[in-house]
């Protein structure tokens, strides 16, 4: 059943949903989780596959066509390929992607591709074993060897001042030698340790300045609602992306919403409030009632984030609990 397009109160059509399938994770990245982990949700509080399928079906009926599975670490959720297979069949879903730290990718990649995941984002902050360990608190650079071969893969590296400078040129060479777009993401105030400061952000422009001394980079036209500015090397070999939410916010045509592992709708990474969907679903609301709850929450989507503005309040939840 097709419904009217999902829109916010600022005239933006919503076409993309990030679904967190778990808040648990097997890494402890410095910029995301504390070393000791976080108090995990009870399993009964996490949405079931059928509940996620229902929400995605309703969102797709309102014009949401792109679904990204995330977490926590999505591959620690048991039977994730089964969920992927269910979502790939939802009418209207055109793009089904996964963001992962890659640790379990070797085990699951084939099953995920077979079940309909058509794009992978693998988070990889360093090509150096020691720095990888320092950042993720796991000695697991082997994730590099586990990338599935034939699928579009983006490699995401969080860019931290005083750390990532040493990775810029190695990552540029990596992007030239492999069919992976490497994207640098500015560090955002979504760390569980709440130690973020603007001085720790290595800005995209600073990285591009380093690169421009070594390479000719050509910027591609920006696609509507894209998070990244994408550049190719002038000789055509390799692509680099820059996600610069802190220094160059891209909120004005944001088409994204998020569903947390326990079924709360978030209309912005930096939302202070959330709308519970699991409660109404378990109380037996009809699809039309659920659609009305979603539309009402989305209508109030934030115009922009306030990072860097006076009075900015860091959300209580950190990235792994939100579903980055
Ligand atoms: N565990 C999976 C992973 O790491 O790819 C999926 C969830 S993780 C929260 C999603 C993305 O958010 C990763 O690329 C991670 O690097 C990024 N991330 C986490 N905390 C961040 C922060 N404070 N600032 C910027 N990006 C962050
Ligand atoms: Fe886990 Fe991803 Fe957060 Fe790292 S960034 S701690 S892998 S959820």
Q: State the average pLDDT over residues 249-271.
A: 95
Q: How far is the CA of 34 from the centre of ligand 1 (A)?
A: 13
Q: pLDDT over 90 for what percent of the chain?
A: 85
Looking at residue 284, what DSSP letter applies? T
Q: Which helix (H) or strand (E) covers residue 231, if one does?
A: strand 229-233
Cβ neighbors of 32 (< 8 A, separation 6 or more) are 25, 190, 191, 192, 318, 319, 320, 324
d(C-alpha 23, C-alpha 78), whole Å = 13
Q: State the average pLDDT over residues 251-276.
A: 95
Tell me what pLDDT residue 119 has. Answer: 94
Are the CB atoms for 87 and 37 separated by under 8 Å? no
pLDDT tens column, 178-221: 999 999 999 999 888 888 999 999 999 999 999 999 999 999 99
What's the total number of domains in the chain? 1
Are the CB atoms for 223 and 194 separated by under 8 Å? no
- Helix (H), strand (E), coil (C) string for 70-136: ECCCHHHCCCHHHHHHHHHCCCCCCEEEEEECCCCHHHHHHHHHHHCCCEEEEECCCCCHHHHHHHH
Q: State the average pLDDT over residues 93-98.
A: 98
State the average pLDDT for the chain: 94
* Strand-pair partners of 50: none
Residue 89 placed within a domain: yes
> 165: domain CATH number?
3.20.20.70
- Asked if the model's pLDDT at residue 147 lies above 80, the reply is no
Q: State the average pLDDT over residues 40-59.
A: 98
Proximal ligand: closest to the CA of 135: 2
Tell me what pLDDT residue 236 has. Answer: 85
Residue 286 placed within a domain: yes
- Asked if the model's pLDDT at residue 35 lies above 80, the reply is yes
Residue 1 placed within a domain: no
Are the CB atoms for 249 and 264 separated by under 8 Å? no
Q: How far is the CA of 1 from the centre of ligand 2 (A)?
A: 36
Tell me what pLDDT residue 141 has. Answer: 87
Residue 227 placed within a domain: yes
Question: Of the residues 37, 120, 123, which should be mutated to test ligand 1's pocket, given the most ligand atoms within 8 Å of the CB?
Answer: 123
Residue 2 placed within a domain: no
Tell me what pLDDT residue 150 has. Answer: 59
Q: How far is the CA of 33 from the centre of ligand 2 (A)?
A: 7
Tokens of 71: 């977490």
Looking at residue 269, what DSSP letter applies? T
Residue 299 placed within a domain: yes
- Asked if the model's pLDDT at residue 148 lies above 80, the reply is no
Q: How far is the CA of 287 from the centre of ligand 1 (A)?
A: 32
Residue 129 placed within a domain: yes
Q: State the average pLDDT over residues 48-62.
A: 98
Tell me what pLDDT residue 254 has. Answer: 96
- Asked if the model's pLDDT at residue 24 lies above 80, the reply is yes
Proximal ligand: closest to the CA of 102: 1
- Asked if the model's pLDDT at residue 309 lies above 90, the reply is no
Q: State the average pLDDT over residues 274-285.
A: 98
Q: If you take atom 17 of ligand 1, which residue's CA is the nearest one?
A: 324
Does residue 309 or residue 303 have the better pLDDT? 303
Q: Work out the pLDDT band at 128, boundaries 50, 70, 90.
A: very high
Q: 126: domain range?
A: 16-322
> Is the pTM above the cut of 0.85?
yes
Question: Of the residues 29, 32, 182, which should be mutated to test ligand 1's pocket, given the most ligand atoms within 8 Å of the CB?
Answer: 32
Tell me what pLDDT residue 149 has. Answer: 66
Tell me what pLDDT residue 96 has. Answer: 98
Residue 49 placed within a domain: yes
């Amino acid at each position: 059943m097709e419904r009217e397009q999902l829109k916010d109160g600022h005239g933006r059509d919503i076409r993309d949903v990030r679904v967190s399938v778990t808040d648990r994770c097997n890494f402890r990245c410095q910029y995301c989780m504390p070393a000791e982990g976080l108090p995990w949700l009870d399993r009964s509080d996490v949405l079931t596959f059928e509940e996620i399928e229902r929400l995605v079906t309703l969102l797709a009926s309102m014009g949401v066509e792109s679904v990204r599975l995330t977490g926590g670490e999505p591959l620690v959720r048991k039977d994730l390929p089964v969920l992927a297979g269910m979502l790939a069949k939802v009418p209207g879903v055109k793009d089904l992607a996964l963001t992962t730290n890659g640790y379990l990718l070797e085990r699951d990649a084939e099953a995920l591709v077979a079940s309909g995941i058509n794009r992978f984002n693998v988070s990889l902050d360093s090509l150096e074993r020691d720095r990888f360990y320092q950042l993720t608190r796991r000695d697991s650079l082997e994730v590099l060897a586990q990338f599935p071969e034939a699928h579009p893969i983006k490699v995401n590296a969080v860019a931290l001042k005083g750390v990532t400078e040493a990775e810029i040129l190695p990552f540029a060479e990596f992007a030239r030698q492999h069919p992976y777009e490497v994207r640098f993401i500015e560090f955002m105030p979504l760390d569980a340790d709440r130690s973020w400061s603007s001085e720790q952000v290595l800005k995209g422009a600073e990285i591009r300045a380093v690169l421009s001394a070594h390479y000719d980079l050509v910027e591609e036209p920006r696609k509507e609602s894209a998070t990244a500015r994408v550049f190719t090397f002038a000789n055509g070999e390799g692509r680099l992306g820059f996600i610069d939410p802190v220094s160059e916010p891209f909120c004005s045509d944001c088409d994204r919403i998020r569903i947390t592992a326990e079924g709360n709708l978030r209309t912005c990474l930096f939302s202070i409030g959330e709308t519970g969907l699991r409660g109404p679903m378990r109380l037996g609301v009809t699809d039309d009632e659920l659609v009305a709850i979603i539309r009402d929450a989305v209508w109030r989507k934030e115009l922009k984030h306030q990072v860097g503005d006076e009075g900015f309040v860091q959300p209580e939840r950190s990235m792994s609990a939100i579903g980055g």
